[in-house]
Amino acid sequence: MKNIKALLLLGIVFLMTTPLLSQSLEGDGPHSQLIIRGVMLINGNGAPPQGPIDIVVENNIIKDVKVVGYPGVAIDDSKRPQLKAGGKELDCTGMYLMPGFIDMHTHIGGDSQGADPDYVFKLWMAHGVTTVREVAGRGIDIALDLKHKSEKNEITAPRIISYTAFGQTSKSFNPLNDIPISTTEQAREWVRANAKKGADGIKFFGAEPAIMEAALDENKKLGLGSACHHAQMSVARWNVLHSARAGLTSMEHWYGLPEALFEDRTVQDFPLDYNYQNEQHRFENAGKLWAQAAEPYSEHWNNVMNELIALDFTMDPTFNIYEASRDLQRARRAEWHEDYTLPSLWEFYQPSKISHGSYWHDWGTEQEVEWRNNYKLWMTFINEYKNRGGRVTTGSDSGFIFQLYGFAYIRELELMREAGFHPLEIIQSATLNGAEALGMDDKLGSVTIGKLADFVVVEENPLQNFKVLYGTGAIKLTEDNEVVRVGGIKYTIKDGIVYDSKALLADVKRQVDEAKAKSNYTIKQPGVKN
């Protein structure tokens, strides 16, 4: 008996100290063969739902997508794909399967939020996000380290596409030896070094026009992606049209787009006491910006849109991240905060003159009304951009402004519906469009033979109600007059590894509970002292 105990102990120690190569620590797999049985397929290519379907995966590659029957008719098992020795079956009869979601605007937590990567990753994965474009969060060293660990499935995390902030440095990445970028050659040198370091692209915030042009030109030559938040400090001389013409591949949010649509001005109508460092000023006046642009469907409005489409330019609107601007109470009272928002993150969200995105210095009815009108014009442009063939992707930018990782992504889907997208167009935006924008549509974005095995499986029909994708589920009344919760993603499958999405979410709650217990913390609304 002692010998058995010793062997068991030795085995535990071995498992704790030996890395499991290409093997998830929390998921099931990968398997030599995985067959997902009986799903309704909602593909990312705009096709209507179809099922029942069996999906065969071998070594993380989709090998077959086979229709196996008809609704209400018993399936002939002899005509279904056969399981090989050592394979794994996943019975998903009656469930809905989509390609893995792609979040095109993410930040892997941050020191100021107190959100560690494991917490952030599990919230994303619990909501079906299997690929993220990380746009200048924790820095290139940390991002690339996490990217490589995710590639090997040494951590529970989405696939990471890493974009470095233009000019950003680190201990191991300082190509200009702390010299700020002030010449076109310095810009090109930094871009070349960023590519050599292993980054997938660059996130810009704006710069002198000649520097932006040089950096984008060099980045395009190297075949890397690019994104830009056209910050107000540079947008007067360099808006979205300038960026797109110079080779930018995608724009974030909407900054720079109204400026390209100006007809009777060249700068935003800033109040004369405005200070960009005062975020109440910044965001309050941003809510008035679309009203200063050309009228929808006017000649100038149409010309800007058509040129951007001709340039194959991608819009990544991130509607959700500014939603608190039009309804602060809704955002801060979201039901998931109590269970899934870390105390440090909740504190970061509170009104502050220091924390980015905490601009609630004096936020009331007038600001919210301006922002609601802002959204109507913004959504009109984005929806029409999609209608005319322009590419629109799905990004969340969560971790700021009361928007929680994972949950915010699902809210983005809902807001795209408000903008006028058909639910199938939304799924396409969340999957295939993102893959195309990343240049990865040969591997991701649709359930197609030859692509990687990234899937989202849910028991309810998300097209009828996107709320069933929230980790907290959707409220439903039964025939017996009982109030129940339905939904929450059942399985998130990344690289052929099956994750129990609800178990991932339960681990997040455990992390939050432990953080609260350390300081006896209770979430309170802003200004409430007792």
In this predicted structure, what is the pLDDT of residue 25?
65
CB 251 within 8 A of CB 231: no
Lowest mean pLDDT among 19-33, 55-69, 73-87, 294-308: 19-33
- CB within 8 Å of 487: residues ≥ 6 apart: 458, 459, 460, 465, 467, 468, 469, 470, 473, 474
450-473: pLDDT as tens digits: 999 999 999 999 999 999 999 999
pLDDT at residue 18 above 70? no
In this predicted structure, what is the pLDDT of residue 248?
97
**Closest C-alpha among 132, 141, 160 to residue 397:** 132
CB 22 within 8 A of CB 32: no
E strand segments, 72-128: 88-91, 96-99, 101-106
Confidence band (pLDDT; 50, 70, 90) for 355? confident
Per-position DSSP letters for 423-486, written without gaps between them:
HHHHHHHHTHHHHHHTT-TTTSSS--TTSB--EEEESS-TTT-GGGGSTT-EEEE-TTS-EEEE
Q: Residue 247 has what DSSP assignment?
A: T
Per-position DSSP letters for 362-429, written without gaps between them:
S--HHHHHHHHHHHHHHHHHHHHHHHTT-EE------SSTTPPTTHHHHHHHHHHHHHT--HHHHHHH
Overall average pLDDT of the 472-482 stretch: 97
**Residue found by looking up tokens 């200048």 in the block:** 136
44-84: pLDDT as tens digits: 999 999 999 999 999 999 999 999 999 999 999 999 999 99
Phi first, then psi: what are they for 211, rounded to 5°?
-70, -45
Phi first, then psi: what are they for 323, rounded to 5°?
-65, -30
3-state helix, strand, coil in the chain (%, to 5): 40, 15, 45
484-529: pLDDT as tens digits: 999 999 999 999 999 999 999 999 999 999 999 999 999 999 999 8
**Residue found by looking up tokens 């067959």 in the block:** 35
Q: What is the dihedral of CA 445, 449, 453, 454, to 10 degrees?
A: 20
Distance (Å, whole) CA 447 – CA 141: 33
Distance (Å, whole) CA 356 – CA 144: 24
CB 92 within 8 A of CB 457: yes
Overall average pLDDT of the 359-366 stretch: 95
pLDDT at residue 209 above 70? yes
**Strand order across the 391-392 sheet:** 101-106, 129-135, 159-165, 201-204, 225-228, 250-252, 314-316, 391-392
**H-run or E-run covering 199:** none
381-437: pLDDT as tens digits: 999 999 999 999 999 999 999 999 999 999 999 999 999 999 999 999 999 999 999
pLDDT at residue 22 above 50? no
Lowest mean pLDDT among 22-26, 130-134, 264-268: 22-26
**H-run or E-run covering 210:** helix 209-221
**H-run or E-run covering 11:** helix 2-17
Report all structural domains of the chain as residue ranges with CATH numbers, in order of start. Answer: 34-98+449-478+485-517 (2.30.40.10), 101-437 (3.20.20.140)
Overall average pLDDT of the 119-144 stretch: 94
CB 4 within 8 A of CB 64: no
